[in-house]
Amino acid sequence: MTGFLTTHVLDTANGIPAAGMRVDLYRIVADSREHVVRMVTNADGRTDTPILPQPSFAVGRYELIFQAGAYFGLSESPAFLDDIPIRFGISDPASHYHVPLLVSPFSFSTYRGS
C-alpha cells in the first residue's frame, strides 16, 4: 500500500468550507521548487482527488500554497494574508498525509490531520 496527500480548507470567518480556493503543490528539491499540481477546492473545501495520489506519492519535502487572498476577494493592497505557504515533509511512503487549513482574512492554522 502506498500513501497519498489530501487537504481540507475551512473558512473560519464565515463558518463554511472554502469552496473555490486554488491550491498549488510544489516538491522542494535542494534549494528549488518544482511545481507538481494546481487544484481548486470543491463545495466541501476539499479537492476532488488527492493532491498527491498514490502513483506520484514519494518521500520528500513539499510546499502547499493556498491562494487565500484571491479566495476572500480582499480589496486592500497588499492583503494581510494572501498566499499561505505550508512546508512539510513526507517520511512514510505508506501513510495518508492530510494537511487541513483553517483560514480567515487575518489568521490561519494547520496541523497534520487524519
Question: Residues annotated as binding site for substrate?
Answer: 8, 46, 111
Binding-site residues: 8, 46, 111
3-state secondary structure the chain: CCCEEEEEEEECCCCEECCCCEEEEEEEECCEEEEEEEEECCCCCECCCCCECHHHCCCEEEEEEEEHHHHHCCCCCCCCCCEEEEEEEECCCCCEEEEEEEEECCEEEECCEC
